[in-house]
Amino acid sequence: GAGVSQSPRYKVAKRGQDVALRCDPISGHVSLFWYQQALGQGPEFLTYFQNEAQLDKSGLPSDRFFAERPEGSVSTLKIQRTQQEDSAVYLCASSFTGNTEAFFGQGTRLTVV
């Protein structure tokens, strides 16, 4: 595709529900990043993939958060047993390599009620 695509754009989940957020990076991009952006804050790093390898997951806030990229293209961020504090916009970015320009998707706005 022409850009990074994220789905769904909006998700409302009841507290305790599991959610899965999808990211389709730009074709051929090796690096993929996930970020969490709370209201009024800058994006906070969650995790980073190079192809299918998850090289850094130091930003994942708890073991309820899990990300995968099994074939080195599409990535899924899964949040188990959602809590209200998980409400945020989740941004995905991809780049050709780790040190080239990163392109961001429009994000998924998650609201936990």
Partner 1 sequence: KQEVTQIPAALSVPEGENLVLNCSFTDSAIYNLQWFRQDPGKGLTSLLLIQSSQREQTSGRLNASLDKSSGRSTLYIAASQPGDSATYLCAVEGDKIIFGKGTRLHILP
Smallest distance, Å, CB 17 to partner 1?
23
* Complete DSSP assignment for the chain: --S-EEE-SEEEE-TT--EEEEEEPPTT--EEEEEEE-TTS--EEEEEEETTEEEE-TT--STTEEEE-TTSS-EEEEESS--GGG-EEEEEEEESSTTS--EE---EEEEE-
Residue closer to partner 1 (CB basis): 66 or 104: 104
Told to check if 102 binds partner 1 by CB under 8 A, we report yes
Smallest distance, Å, CB 41 to partner 1?
6
Cα torsion at 38, 44, 48, 54 (round to 10°)? -80
Binding test (CB under 8 A) with partner 1, winner from 45, 54, 66, 74: 45
By CB under 8 A, the residues from 72 to 101 that bind partner 1 are 91, 93, 98-101
Residue closer to partner 1 (CB basis): 22 or 80: 22
Residue closer to partner 1 (CB basis): 16 or 61: 61
Residue closer to partner 1 (CB basis): 44 or 68: 44
Tokens of 87: 């409400």
User: Which residues contribute to the site for partner 1 (CB under 8 A)?
Assistant: 33, 35, 41-45, 48, 56, 91, 93, 98-107, 109
